[in-house]
Every structure is written in structure tokens, then in C-alpha cells.
Structure 1
Amino acid sequence: MTDIPPDFDPESPEEREIAGEAATDRSDFLSLMGHSYRGELSRMSAWRTRIDRTTNWAVVVTATLLTWAFSADSRPHYILLIGMAMVMIFLWIEVRRYRVYDIWRSRLRLLEENVFANALDPDGAVQSNWRELLSEDLREPTIKISGFEATSRRLRRVYFPLISVLVGAWAVRLTVFGSFTSLVRAATVGALPGVAVLLGVGVFYGSVLLLTFWPHGRQAKGELQSEPDVEQWK
């Protein structure tokens, strides 16, 4: 451990603004950017792991409920409805994690586009004010992707297929093990009439379908996609 000089004063102007000297020294600045990149990459990887963990929970719960629901004809069909609710809770958790994860990912893309890519092929920085953008975001971190876009993206990537499987399995469960003479009677849950259950599931699935595929402007910056990204980080 380095000994601190007895006359060291962290409040002095020289010590307080010492990092500012790196702005005028290229070697110090590039070294600082390298350390910054590794730090942001570590943060992004940690949040990426959190997202994957939530996805794993949703997949395991879905598989478990499907296995249990079809293991015997006496199993209640509404266990699959409970599974839909649990998957939506996992989606809500994952959307929150995804929006935080995007903070670190967007910083990495800013460095990759304007520092590392330009070092490999000096064709000019993509954003001339990238240093100002990064400085502002370090001082006042902001979430750059809306809740609507994050929800839509996680639905398309993971949760819409899971919900579709549960809805399809629920429909099969009603028709195979339920009453063939009355689908409405088979869908009844306790005192809740079958019509209300069927209508509720229909509205729920329709809302999920709309949220998943509703066209909207892209706000997330620099993520892999099939079409060119015309949006810039604002």
C-alpha cells in the first residue's frame, strides 16, 4: 500500500482537478478509456447474468407447470393460468433489469464506435461530441430505453413464445381433459364463470400480442439487429 504524504490535501485545486490533466495527455487519456471500458464491461456482464437468470426461472417454471398439468386428467386447468401470471411477473422483473443493463451497454457502444473502431480504421468518430455525451452520462446516469420498448423486446426474444405455449397448452387442457359438450363450463374457475375466464385470457393474449408486435421507434442504441439502426443516442 502506497504511503500518503503527510502534506497531501485532497481539497487542494491541484489534487481535486488531477483527472482533468488526462484530457490534454493522449497516452493518459487512452489508458483511462481502457480502464473505463473494462469497468463498464464488467458491469454490463453482471447485469446480463441477472437477465439470463430471470429468463431461466421463467423457462423452468413453464416446463414444470406443463409437466404437472398434463400428468393426470384430474389436474386443474387453472394452474396454467397461474403460470401465465408468474411468467408476467418474471417479465416485469426482467424489463427493469434490461433497462439498467442498457445503461452500461450504451456506454460501451459509445466507446467502441468512437474510440476503438476509429483506432482500427481512422475514418472519423461517429459522434463528434462523444466525450461530452459520456461525461454527462457519467455525472448523471440516465435510462435510455423506454419501458415500452424494453417490454416489447423481451417479449419478442423470450416471453411471447413462453406465454403462447402456456395459452396453447391451456386450450388443449380444456378440450382434451375438460368437457367436450361445453368448453365454457370446462373453463370455469370456482365461482368465476367460464365466459369471464375465456374472455379474460383472450384479452390478455391479445394485449400481449399487440405489445409484442406494435411498430414503434427505436431508442436503444447500437444493439445487434437485422436492420440498420437509424436512431442515434440522444
Structure 2
Amino acid sequence: MGDDTQNDSELAEETELGSEMAGHSAEMSSILGDAYRGELDRETTWRSRLDQTTTWGVTVVAAILTFAFSSADNPHYIILVGILAVSLFLLIEARRYRDYDVYRSRVRLFQQNLLADALDPSEGLEHEDWRSKLSQDYRRPTLKVSTWEATANRLRRIYLPLLIVLLVAWLFRITAFAPNESLLTTASIAVVPGPLVIAVIALYYIAMIAIVLWPRSREAKGEFREGDPQEWKESN
């Protein structure tokens, strides 16, 4: 009974402390400034992790293409192994992007509603309840974007071009190095017939393009405004 009373007393003091700080603009400004710097640091850290995964993917692609074209005796399916490796990096980066977007969304709340309003109050707040949104996110942190959206984002920005490079390299490898044989013959892998290999690869790339083009409402915050910058300036 005594422990419960003590816990209730400590909780009341902590609640009162938060209320007192919220009532003093100088203290609140200091707290928000520290919070913004902390969230910006976390965003930068996760941004670097995304860059690391991209670097791994580009390095693997370069190494595999160098090996595949260094000798006619090297198997063509090493490029298909590269496609699998890039796909693995895509899944890793999509997961990291979801974590990165948590901190980016908080930074954007600060920028849109605190910094932008301080610089030009005439525009008003982007979100009237931005402090409440940020408070709820601190109390119950949640991922903001789905796995599908994160995958589509990383495909569109980085990985679809890498996959297309690998596809073109593979097609060139199985045709240029065996000009007297048909595509269906040179595409075979051991006992797996060429038509089946080509069909699987075609379905895979169709699925990747579908993920990129599939219409969906964007949940990620902080995307740059699309269109010509000059047109945007003229409209404002």
C-alpha cells in the first residue's frame, strides 16, 4: 500500500513537472530545440544506414558483372545470383527505410510547424495539432509507411535501375557469347530448361515494375515537391 502511494506521488510530481515546463516558453523552446537536434541526429544515422546498403548493392553488382564478362567460360547464371543478392539488399533497405521514416516524419513536424512558422508566421501552422501528434508519437512510436510503400520507394530510387542493368547484362551475356545458339538454349541452367528460366525472370521483373507503378496513397512525409521548380515559384 505504501509503495502504491509513493508511486502515485512520484507520477504526480513528474506530471506536474511536465506541465510546469510546458507553461514556460523559454524552457519549452529549449526542450523543443534539444528534441529537434536529437531527432535530426537519429534521422542522419538511419540515412547513413540506407546509404551503406546501397553501397553494398552497387559493389556486388560491379563485382558480379566484372566476373561474368571476364571470361566466356564463366557461367551466365552468376548474373542471376547477382539479381538475388540485389533483391536481398532491397528487402534490407526497405526495412531500414521504414525505421528512417519514423525519425524523418518527426523532423518534418518540427520543420513545418515550428521552424517554418517562426521564420514566416503569416503562412500559419501546417498542422494545428502538431504538438499533440508529436506527443502521441513519443508515447506510442509507430511505423508510418507500409512494407510495400518502402519497397516501392527504394525500387524507384535505387534498385530498379540496378536490376535493369543486371537484366541487360544477362541478356547480352547469353547472346553475345554464344551467337550460334538460340536464346532459349543458352538461357538454360543445368537441367533447368531455358524457357523456364526466361519465364521466371520475366515474371520477377513484371512483379518489380508492378510494385513501383501500383497506385497507392503516400504515407511518407517530407517528399520534395514534384514538378519544375520555376513553375512552383511562379505559382507562389
Q: Would you call these one fold, judging by a TM-score over 0.5?
A: yes
Q: Deviations over 1:148-195 (max 9, x none)?
A: 111111111100000000000000000011353321111111111111
Superposed displacement of residue 14, structure 1 = 2.5
Q: Secondary structure at the match of 1:59?
A: helix
Assess, with a 3 A threshold, how the Cα gap between structure 1 residues 74 and 90 changes in structure 2: closer, same or farther. Answer: same
Residue 169 of structure 2 aligns with which residue?
169
Distance in structure 1 (CA, Å) of the matches to 2:19 and 2:180: 76
Distance in structure 2 (CA, Å) of the matches to 1:24 and 1:95: 41
Compare 204-213 and 30-39 and name the one that shifted more: 204-213
Superposed displacement of residue 125, structure 1 = 1.2
Q: Deviations over 1:1-38 (max 9, x none)?
A: xxxxxxxxx92633453122111111111111000000
Assess, with a 3 A threshold, how the Cα gap between structure 1 residues 225 and 189 changes in structure 2: closer, same or farther. Answer: farther
Residue 53 of structure 1 aligns with which residue?
52
Residue 185 of structure 2 aligns with which residue?
185
Compare 198-207 and 175-184 and name the one that shifted more: 175-184
TM-score with structure 1 setting the length: 0.89
Residue 66 of structure 2 aligns with which residue?
67
* 8 A contact 1:41–1:108 mirrored in 2: yes
Distance in structure 1 (CA, Å) of the matches to 2:95 and 2:144: 12
User: Match of 1:146, as an amino acid?
Assistant: S
Superposed displacement of residue 54, structure 1 = 0.1
User: Match of 2:62, as an amino acid?
Assistant: A
Q: Secondary structure at the match of 2:125?
A: coil
RMSD, aligned CA? 1.7
Residue 21 of structure 1 aligns with which residue?
20
Distance in structure 1 (CA, Å) of the matches to 2:181 and 2:14: 82
Instruction: Give runs of ≥4 in structure 1 deviating > 6 Å.
Output: none
Distance in structure 2 (CA, Å) of the matches to 1:137 and 1:108: 12
Indicate the percent of aligned positions where both proteins have the same amino acid.
Answer: 45
Distance in structure 2 (CA, Å) of the matches to 1:36 and 1:69: 50
Distance in structure 1 (CA, Å) of the matches to 2:62 and 2:50: 19
Distance in structure 1 (CA, Å) of the matches to 2:110 and 2:214: 31
User: Match of 2:69, as an amino acid?
Assistant: F
Residue 83 of structure 2 aligns with which residue?
84
TM-score with structure 2 setting the length: 0.89
Q: Secondary structure at the match of 1:219?
A: coil
Unaligned runs of 5+ in 2: 1-8, 229-236
* 8 A contact 1:37–1:111 mirrored in 2: yes
Compare 198-207 and 94-103 and name the one that shifted more: 198-207
* 8 A contact 1:58–1:90 mirrored in 2: yes
Q: How does 1:56-205 map to 2 (within 5 A)?
A: 56-123=55-122, 124-178=124-178, 180-205=180-205
Assess, with a 3 A threshold, how the Cα gap between structure 1 residues 205 and 12 changes in structure 2: closer, same or farther. Answer: closer
Superposed displacement of residue 44, structure 1 = 0.5
Superposed displacement of residue 115, structure 1 = 0.6
User: Match of 1:102, as an amino acid?
Assistant: D
* 8 A contact 1:103–1:143 mirrored in 2: yes
